[in-house]
Structure 1
């Protein structure tokens, strides 16, 4: 099982002057301890729902570029970019650039977006739900076309590109792994089955009922599209509990693996990551009992 961490809280005791050294330290601990991926949210307002609206939040693409320079092994990505934040060609170009500059370590994490309060506060467009999903599917199609080196015109309902060039292309071939975030059964998981390499579901405290059901729905969509269910990396986001030990975390990961999880993404709640917390997660992953 792979284990990753997602950085959602940037509120430090010393404020913004500490952020540079903090990010460097956490990234290097993750890089050296065997963490699979270091994720950052793509939001302009705090991603941690327990944070104040004016708490620090770093822009995702800039942050990933900084993290790329501080690491050598750990993979990097957004969990996830909202499809309406940027023109799709700009998003694809950003991920391609990250992949080249990291030696092939980029993820493409994307979703339909949902935060109306953020959109209103920051002057972002937020189309209807149906339109966002149309845009998401077109963006996924365009990304695969650009990464295939196909510069022929792209014509969709919402996006039209005369010459979608992408040079330099990604080092990871055929393209960086694509993660579509969200648990919607009718549209999101269908898009995962059709276009993605990974899904991202949530650790809900209901004895595994929801997770099992969502994965069963994903399996049905895979069957409908003749996609091997085993091709999809089943990632599940969970929170590291206060005071949780490596052994306790390992047992929890083993329980999630029994439900079908293959890749655990760990967040903290209302506190930033610490070196010790990252090492607890890494140690728990290394010592996880087999299901």
Structure 2
């Protein structure tokens, strides 16, 4: 089990500081998030700039943004941004992707696609293009939404065969799960209600039947940093059910001191 922390708030200088504190406290990954306009959030920043700042303050932890909605980003730009950040961080980037949440005004308020099917099509084509452009070969693509005519991207990412891609997968929707299984990790979204460890075991077995190479299952939640025995007891059932990453995510928190304190208390490692 590896342990990451999603930083939900803070100005950009504070976020970079918190990433450094997280590395010092023993977290394995420090993550930000991709938002354009969410009324309930007091402040937000471009995730690629934020992650660059985080990379400059850290040396070991993995970095990523939970999540990048590829339907509203040009895939050839994302491919270049991700490669640049992978080099800046010396191969520590993870690319978590999905459809995104429509409560972000960066969809409907600016004319981006909101239809689920269309966003899924854009996600699939974007992933094809991003991974194709990372190959260092001349890449051509003709899709329903995007076309690429003979682009060759250099340099390639530091990480090979590619930067790890985590994909949000709707359990038990076959098409959504098949998309995630083509890549490197799954952020599960249970369409039948709250996920339980028992349900995750079923999902883990489903994945094992279809994947033989290493594959991450990412789960998120909150644990009390002042009671590590209790924290471990929260995480343990998910680890036993197949989760390989625990993301400490405190989306309702608006107190930066609370966020800093929880980071410094360290990950809820299973004793």
TM bucket by the smaller chain?
A: 0.7 to 0.9
Choose which of 232, 256, 271 in structure 2 pairs with 1:250: 232
Answering whether residue 171 of structure 2 is matched by residue 189 of structure 1, we say no
Report the CA distance between 1:256 and its aligned residue.
1.3
RMSD over aligned CA atoms reads 2.4
Match of 1:44 in 2: 36
Match of 2:19 in 1: 27
Segment drifting more, 143-152 vs 69-78: 143-152
Taking the aligned partners of 1:119 and 1:219, their CA distance within structure 2 comes to 36
CA contact (8 A) 2:16 2:50 kept: no
Answering whether residue 6 of structure 2 is matched by residue 6 of structure 1, we say yes
**Structure 2: unaligned runs, 5 residues or longer:** none
Match of 1:69 in 2: 56
Structure 1 residues 248 and 127, CA gap change in structure 2 (3 angstroms) = same
CA contact (8 A) 2:36 2:104 kept: no
Choose which of 206, 216, 220 in structure 2 pairs with 1:237: 220
Q: Deviations over 1:241-274 (max 9, x none)?
A: 5x65222112222221111111101111422453
Answering whether residue 100 of structure 2 is matched by residue 113 of structure 1, we say yes
Task: Find the residue that maps to 1:250 and give its secondary structure.
Answer: helix
* TM, length-normalised to structure 2: 0.87
Report the CA distance between 1:219 and its aligned residue.
4.0
Structure 1 residues 247 and 86, CA gap change in structure 2 (3 angstroms) = same
Answering whether residue 249 of structure 2 is matched by residue 262 of structure 1, we say no
Taking the aligned partners of 2:103 and 2:248, their CA distance within structure 1 comes to 25
Structure 1 residues 53 and 207, CA gap change in structure 2 (3 angstroms) = closer
**Structure 1: unaligned runs, 5 residues or longer:** 11-18, 47-51
Taking the aligned partners of 1:80 and 1:155, their CA distance within structure 2 comes to 26
Structure 1 residues 81 and 268, CA gap change in structure 2 (3 angstroms) = same
Report the CA distance between 1:122 and its aligned residue.
4.2
Taking the aligned partners of 1:64 and 1:199, their CA distance within structure 2 comes to 21
Taking the aligned partners of 1:198 and 1:216, their CA distance within structure 2 comes to 15
Structure 1 residues 53 and 122, CA gap change in structure 2 (3 angstroms) = farther
Task: Find the residue that maps to 1:154 and give its secondary structure.
Answer: strand
Taking the aligned partners of 2:88 and 2:195, their CA distance within structure 1 comes to 42
Structure 1 residues 162 and 138, CA gap change in structure 2 (3 angstroms) = same
Q: Deviations over 1:18-58 (max 9, x none)?
A: x2442232111112222111111111134xxxxx5351112
Taking the aligned partners of 1:101 and 1:206, their CA distance within structure 2 comes to 36
The number of residues matched between the two structures is: 265
Taking the aligned partners of 1:208 and 1:44, their CA distance within structure 2 comes to 33
Correspondence list, 1:56-95, <5 A: 56-95=43-82
Taking the aligned partners of 1:206 and 1:87, their CA distance within structure 2 comes to 32
* TM, length-normalised to structure 1: 0.82
Q: Deviations over 1:67-124 (max 9, x none)?
A: 1111111111111100122111111111111001111111111112241552456414
Choose which of 123, 147, 163 in structure 2 pairs with 1:160: 147
